[in-house]
Amino acid sequence: MEFGLMQLWEGGWVGALLRGASVTILVGVGAMLLGLATGIACGLIKWARVVPLNWLVDIYTTVVRGVPELLIIYLLFFSSVELVARIGTAFGWAGLAETGYPFLIGIIAIGAISGSYSTEVVRGALAAIPTGHVEAARALGMPKARIFRRIILPQMLRIAAPGVNNVWQATMKDTALISVVGLQELMRTAFVGAGSTRSPFIFYLVAGAVYLAITFVSQSGFKRAERALVLKGRA
């Protein structure tokens, strides 16, 4: 039984896997940014208890965190792909549903999942800010917008940093699930390569190693950011 290392090298799969990895990173970063925007908005709504909206946010976080990621991706992709294919064909881009659309759905679906976890992180960080700080700022006569910008936001970012790191790790790994609807990212490339060379072991091993490398590199970046966020002269 061959191990498949030669096919991996000679078939040009190394380049394909690296291209897949760049798509994975793109989806991961896009989803994370979308998730953070959602998370900050929803976290603020939950923290400030904006009455009708916070119920919607509660439903959103409960449902998205309680249902498997795979199911959310299936639901969003399959319920809209036919319509998108028809629109694409109407505008003379028949391949839209196969190429561009899984990428877009990937960012939206993973972003929605990431956002539900970010919401909890942001809400927790806001709740951890001592009320005395906000009261002191108010006593000094600061306007509301400045209290938010100068007092609440910087502290929230500092407290939320480790939680955001966790969400990023989970988001990065969730991008692998987009492969089930055919986006040519790292996992999908490994799947295709495994099928065509009939040596799945090496392909999934390499894919796993690339995910691990992405995790380690981003982890050390986050550690540095966390250290930079710590106040000088404390901790």
Partner 1 sequence: MDWDLLHRAVTTIGKGVGTTLTLASVSLAIGFCLGLGLAVMRVSGNRLMSGFAEYYSAVFRGTPLLVQLFLFYYGLGQFDFVRENPVLWWVIGGGTHCAIMALALNTAAYTSEILRGGLISIPVGLIEAAKAAGMSRALRFRRIEFPLAIRQALPAYGNEMVLVIKGTSLASTITVLEITGHAKRLMSQTYAIFEVFTIAGIFYLLINAALIFAVRRIENRLTSPAR
Q: Which residues bind partner 1 (CB under 8 A)?
A: 1, 62-63, 65-71, 74-75, 78-79, 169, 173-177, 179-180, 187, 190-191, 194, 198-205, 207-208, 211-212, 215-216
Name the residue nearer to partner 1 (CB basis): 29 or 157. Answer: 29
Looking at residue 185, what DSSP letter applies? S
Name the residue nearer to partner 1 (CB basis): 100 or 200. Answer: 200
Distance separating alpha carbons of residues 7 and 11, to the nearest angstrom: 5
71: tokens are 């199911």
Work out the angle at residue 67's Cα, subtended by the Cα atoms of residues 61 and 69, and round it to the nearest 5 degrees: 100
Distance separating alpha carbons of residues 14 and 20, to the nearest angstrom: 10
Name the residue nearer to partner 1 (CB basis): 46 or 188. Answer: 188
Q: What is the smallest separation between the CB atom of 213 and partner 1, expressed in angstroms?
A: 9
Q: What is the smallest separation between the CB atom of 200 and partner 1, expressed in angstroms?
A: 4
HSE-CB for 71 with a 13 A CA cutoff: 6
Q: What is the smallest separation between the CB atom of 108 and partner 1, expressed in angstroms?
A: 16
Q: What is the 3-state secondary structure (H, E, C) of 66-134?
A: HCCHHHHHHHHHHHHHHHHHHHHHHCCCHHHHCCHHHHHHHHHHHHHHHHHHHHHHHHHHHHCCCHHHH
Q: What is the smallest separation between the CB atom of 204 and partner 1, expressed in angstroms?
A: 4
Q: What is the smallest separation between the CB atom of 79 and partner 1, expressed in angstroms?
A: 5
Name the residue nearer to partner 1 (CB basis): 93 or 201. Answer: 201
Name the residue nearer to partner 1 (CB basis): 183 or 187. Answer: 187
